[in-house]
């Protein structure tokens, strides 16, 4: 049976980012969680912007991290 895949939208990304931002974890762990999601979310929508996602997650991000 074929799976129907829909594109995730900005509101979905915002919900995920807000959830990550609300986690009571160390910054290094928050970065790992944000990166893990960003690595996969980019495949769901061609307009996904990882830099904006990281900021919305509250994960301080350094290029190359």
The tens digit of pLDDT for each residue in 17-55 reads 999 999 999 999 999 999 999 999 988 888 999 999 999
The residue count for the chain: 65
Q: Any residues with CB less than 8 A from the CB of 16 and at least 6 apart, and which?
A: 37, 41
Q: Which pTM was predicted?
A: 0.80
CB 4 within 8 A of CB 41: no
């Amino acid at each position: 049976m074929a799976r129907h895949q829909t594109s995730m939208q900005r509101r979905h990304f915002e919900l995920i980012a807000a959830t990550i931002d609300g986690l009571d974890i160390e910054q290094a762990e928050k970065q790992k969680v944000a990166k893990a999601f960003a690595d996969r979310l980019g495949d769901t929508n061609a307009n996904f912007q990882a830099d904006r996602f990281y900021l919305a997650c509250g994960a301080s991000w350094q290029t190359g991290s």
